[in-house]
Amino acid sequence: MMDNKQEKSSSFVPYIPSSRSLPELTAVAIIFGVILAIVFGAANAYLGLKVGLTVSASIPAAVISMGVLRGIFRRDSILENNIVQTMTTAGEAIGAGAVFTLPAFFLLDINLSQTVIIFIVLTGGLLGVFMMVPLRQMLIVKEHGVLPYPEGTACAEVLKSGEKGGANAKTVAIGFLFGGLVKVLGDGFMLFKTEIETQVGKLKNTVVGMDIFPALLGVGYIIGPRIAGQMLAGGLLAWIVLIPAIAFFGADSTTAIFPAEDPIGKLDAWGIWDSYIKYIGAGAVAVAGLITLLKTMPTLISTAAKTMKGLSDGSVSGGIERTDKDMPFRYVILGVVVLVIIIGAAPVTNVGFIGAIAIAIFGFLFVAVASRIVGIVGSSSSPVSGMTIATLLIVTLVYKVTGMTGLDGMKAALTVAAIVCTALAVAGDISQDLKTGHLVGGTPWKQQVAMMIGVIASGLVIGIILIVLDKSYGMGSQQLPAPKAAIMKVLVQGIFGGDLPWSLIFIGAAIAIVIEFLGLNSLVVAVGLYLPVHISAPVMFGGAVRWLVDVTAKTKEERQARADRGVLFASGLIAGESLLGVLIAVLIFFNVSIPETPLTNNRLIPFLIFLFVCWLLYWFSTRTKADKLK
């Protein structure tokens, strides 16, 4: 069986064979890739802080690259476009790694300088690239045809159908326009409320609502109706079950119950959510993340064994053909060793020898897992948060046992977790990118260098973006809940300080276990439980649009074509709203006058605007050749 697999991989011929050479790592590709890396890094940072999820940038980056390089610069090298999308995903990965962990420092009122932020994301990002290099031969070459790499394979198909780039790029651009327009009119000029809610009947503190954000609609479309529905289920569990239950049983309470500062009878729905539900949700997310990690434990063990076997028999090194050349292995080892030593010795983070060893061990093990898992289920389903939580828990306990406590201990533990998280995010993305390169005929070492350039470019600016967003909206606020980072803060604070409402956290943990036994995705439901239902509701609308697009398709091919086109428009919505959200934050940061209250409190106007964007998403999804011929 294994011989057949190896024969299948060895006989594979990429779209551009190794005998041909096209422009690849060019100055134009690097400059354009750096720009898109920064843009999508900012967009993913905003989205991750808003909803706790990030989306893959590879396909929209490939489409934009083809539209610009082919349409404006008249360049038609598929390998050049592949380099651009590789660099763009570096920015997306840096944004994800940063917002899942670094905002915890802001929530703990620990001041982070730009130097520290840059140090964390660059060391983590570069470690992710270096540690993935030895895995390429095993995961991508030897297991070609075994691991599907869904996003990497889809991106390769987009690149190969390059003649459609102009039309597809327009779809992304139109989505960007509408996403940005709604954001500017709502949160910029305050022409209407971007959050609407209503009381459910006469039930006390039973509230449902939704945020009028096209980006959340786009997220729902991309993740599909099943995942979106489970996320909404978590939100409804909190807002129409737990909050009313707490309000009912505590209605006659005359004293405050920890951690609230006021009696429950004086709290509205938002007060109960802020005082109690967030801790229940935190416990649910933490345990669900660990459950997700435990479910991947067989993969972790087998991957580690295969990796060590590959290192021992020398199969990690590439061949002599252009399409099989990785970065020289001696440089990879040297890069990892130097980075680990710098991390351990650097006074800017003070993680010490313990932290450096932890980063080396957990970094390599979890990078191997992340690189393989994305080949099976894709980047969006990779349990990065679960692996980060496991790292944080172990490192925090080790620091506490060795006597490092207080804010210094919290800072050191969070720094280790942030570096590992960034390494995992980058490794998962470059794994998908290298699969794309393998299919289209890219040169591996050039992609690896391009990823490092993208990591450096986006890493130098992500700190500025985080600080601007914090100063403008406030980390942990209703506008930027930063859910994943809030979980990190709760865990590290609880272990070091012990001043948390553990009963609520254990209730959340129990809920996550029950959800898992019900056969649902406990992590998705837990995230919905932690976030306000106002965020889950528009995500569900996006999932509903995706369902409608799928069920009205006549054939499997038509359904796939519709989904692909809809993903492009949805990606435009996400990028447009996210980037304009960052721009509005910059204006607020520089004290530019922005209205404080909306022009109208009418709830119907924003809802109708949102429904119009839903219709646009459906309409663009169904504007495929198959639909036009009917």
CA angle in degrees (0–180, nearest 5) for 155-160-162: 100
**Is the model's pLDDT at 194 over the cut of 80?**
yes
Among 224, 246, 215, which Cα is nearest to 521's? Answer: 224
Q: Is residue 465 part of a domain?
A: yes
Question: By mean pLDDT, which of 213-227, 277-291, 365-379 is the weakest?
Answer: 365-379
The first and second tokens of residue 350, run together, are: 């003070």
pLDDT in tens, 584-624: 888 888 888 888 888 888 889 999 999 999 999 999 999 86
**Is the model's pLDDT at 165 over the cut of 60?**
no
The predicted model gives 565-592 an average pLDDT of 85
- Give burial (CB, 10 Å; 0-12/13-18/19+) of 401: exposed
Confidence of residue 5 (pLDDT cuts 50, 70, 90): very low
Q: Is residue 337 part of a domain?
A: yes
In contact, 462 and 94? CB cutoff 8 Å = yes
Q: Is residue 198 part of a domain?
A: no
Question: By mean pLDDT, which of 2-6, 363-367, 382-386, 539-543 is the weakest?
Answer: 2-6
In contact, 481 and 52? CB cutoff 8 Å = yes
Lookup result for tokens 């119950």: 257
259 preceded by a cis bond (ω within 30 of 0) = yes
pLDDT in tens, 283-333: 888 888 788 778 767 765 665 566 566 555 555 555 578 888 888 888 999
Can you tell me the distance from the alpha carbon of 376 to that of 385, in angstroms, rounded to the nearest whole number? Answer: 17
pLDDT in tens, 54-74: 777 777 888 888 888 877 777
Can you tell me the distance from the alpha carbon of 238 to that of 216, in angstroms, rounded to the nearest whole number? Answer: 19
Rg from Cα positions in the chain: 24
Number of other residues whose CB lies within 10 A of the CB of residue 312: 9
Quote the pLDDT of residue 581. 86
**Is the model's pLDDT at 244 over the cut of 70?**
yes
Confidence of residue 509 (pLDDT cuts 50, 70, 90): very high
Domain count for the chain: 1
Confidence of residue 4 (pLDDT cuts 50, 70, 90): very low
Among 186, 170, 54, 164, which Cα is nearest to 527's? Answer: 54
Mean model confidence pLDDT for the chain: 85
User: Which bin fits 253, alpha (ψ -120 to 50), beta or left (φ > 0)?
Assistant: beta
Among 628, 575, 588, 573, which Cα is nearest to 179's? Answer: 573
Q: What percent of the chain has pLDDT over 70?
A: 90
Q: Is residue 432 part of a domain?
A: yes
Quote the pLDDT of residue 1. 38
Q: What percent of the chain has pLDDT over 90?
A: 39
Q: Is residue 406 part of a domain?
A: yes
Among 559, 537, 581, which Cα is nearest to 207's? Answer: 537
The first and second tokens of residue 420, run together, are: 């590992």
Quote the pLDDT of residue 379. 63
Can you tell me the distance from the alpha carbon of 202 to that of 221, in angstroms, rounded to the nearest whole number? Answer: 33
Can you tell me the distance from the alpha carbon of 501 to that of 504, in angstroms, rounded to the nearest whole number? Answer: 6
Quote the pLDDT of residue 627. 54
Q: How big is the chain, counted in residues?
A: 630
Confidence of residue 167 (pLDDT cuts 50, 70, 90): low
Confidence of residue 505 (pLDDT cuts 50, 70, 90): confident
| Residue span of the structural domain in which 335 resides | 27-167+297-311+327-487
**Is the model's pLDDT at 247 over the cut of 50?**
yes
The predicted model gives 493-498 an average pLDDT of 80
Residue 147 DSSP class: B
Q: Which residue has the higher pLDDT, 288 or 5?
A: 288
Query: How are beta strands 207-211 and 195-199 bridged, if at all?
Result: antiparallel
- pTM to 2 decimals? 0.80
| Residue 491: strand, helix, or coil | helix
Q: Is residue 320 part of a domain?
A: no
Quote the pLDDT of residue 3. 44
Can you tell me the distance from the alpha carbon of 53 to that of 280, in angstroms, rounded to the nearest whole number? Answer: 19
Q: Is residue 565 part of a domain?
A: no
Confidence of residue 552 (pLDDT cuts 50, 70, 90): very high
Lookup result for tokens 């087998």: 302
Quote the pLDDT of residue 608. 96
**What are the backbone dihedrals phi and psi of residue 500, each rounded to the nearest 5 degrees, phi first?**
-110, 155
Confidence of residue 225 (pLDDT cuts 50, 70, 90): very high
Quote the pLDDT of residue 302. 66
Quote the pLDDT of residue 304. 58
pLDDT in tens, 38-49: 988 898 888 888
Among 180, 240, 238, 159, which Cα is nearest to 204's? Answer: 240
Can you tell me the distance from the alpha carbon of 241 to that of 263, in angstroms, rounded to the nearest whole number? Answer: 19
Confidence of residue 7 (pLDDT cuts 50, 70, 90): very low
Quote the pLDDT of residue 620. 92
The first and second tokens of residue 202, run together, are: 């006469």
Which residues pair with residue 199 across a beta bridge? 207
**Is the model's pLDDT at 351 over the cut of 80?**
yes
Quote the pLDDT of residue 8. 44
Query: Which amino acid is present at 29?
Result: A
Query: Which amino acid is present at 321?
Result: E
Can you tell me the distance from the alpha carbon of 503 to that of 583, in angstroms, rounded to the nearest whole number? Answer: 41
Which residues pair with residue 196 across a beta bridge? 210
Lookup result for tokens 């990429």: 14
In contact, 382 and 373? CB cutoff 8 Å = yes
The first and second tokens of residue 357, run together, are: 């060893």
